[in-house]
Chain A
Amino acid sequence: GAGVSQSPSNKVTEKGKDVELRCDPISGHTALYWYRQRLGQGLEFLIYFQGNSAPDKSGLPSDRFSAERTGESVSTLTIQRTQQEDSAVYLCASSTAGTEGSYEQFFGPGTRLTV
């Protein structure tokens, strides 16, 4: 079946503009995650959605970042008033999730954002 998809694959924007990144998780996966990866660095956790529970926003770096998810499907990550330091690859992952710590995450190809 289809994996996690993200769009756009590349986005170039100007400082101060808003951008919206999209993630389509694997069908049936209740958990969805957003991560950010700066050039040459590891991944930073941003936000996590699990079913209808309130999202875990503890990784969002500032109030310019927000994310939404419609039910157990598409998610959008919005960055307002983009800054140069927002330049990174934004990765989305989904999983069947649980509370045991044993479920693998399936990652999309990422959106490369250049400000």
Chain B
Amino acid sequence: DAKTTQPNSMESNEEEPVHLPCNHSTISGTDYIHWYRQLPSQGPEYVIHGLTSNVNNRMASLAIAEDRKSSTLILHRATLRDAAVYYCILRGRTQGGSEKLVFGKGTKLTVNP
């Protein structure tokens, strides 16, 4: 499975934008880039995903490099509720052709009031 590299931690101030980077230099042409986040003591929740073009939804924006070897999750105005571990994941397949998610350690985002 192609792997992703993220900083261990980042810090932001409330109501400021946050840019969370992810490197995935070994991405294959059919891999989707997914972002999930995990709030303390909860299961992960989906944030956003994309393939080649930049994507926007109510939670965040995803900027994908032209060569697809890196991407950036953008939170436009961080709130205290955005404090979580953010996982950048390539949607891979096992040998059986299934849709498992391969999680790294993610980036722990701290939001300061």
Contact = CB atoms under 8 A, between A and B. Distances in A.
Interface of A: 4, 31, 33, 35, 41-45, 48, 50, 54, 56, 58-59, 91, 93, 95, 97-110
Nearest to B101: A105
13 contacts: A31-B99, A33-B100, A45-B102, A48-B98, A48-B100, A50-B98, A54-B96, A91-B44, A95-B99, A101-B30, A101-B31, A101-B99, A104-B34
A91 B30 CA distance: 27
Contact of A48 (B36, B99, B102, B103): B99
Q: Dominant SS at the B interface? A: loop
B51 interface: yes
Interface string B61-103: 0000000000000000000000000010001111111111111
A42 B46 contact: no
B43 interface: yes
Interface string B11-44: 0000000000000000000111010100000111
A46 to B, nearest CB: 9
Contacts of B43: 4, 91, 93, 107-110
Contact of A58 (B95, B99, B104): B95
Given A33-B100, A45-B102, A104 B46 contact: yes
Given A100-B32, A102-B49, 5 more contacts: A48-B96, A56-B100, A101-B32, A104-B49, A105-B44
A24 to B, nearest CB: 14
A106 B91 CA distance: 15
A42 B105 contact: yes
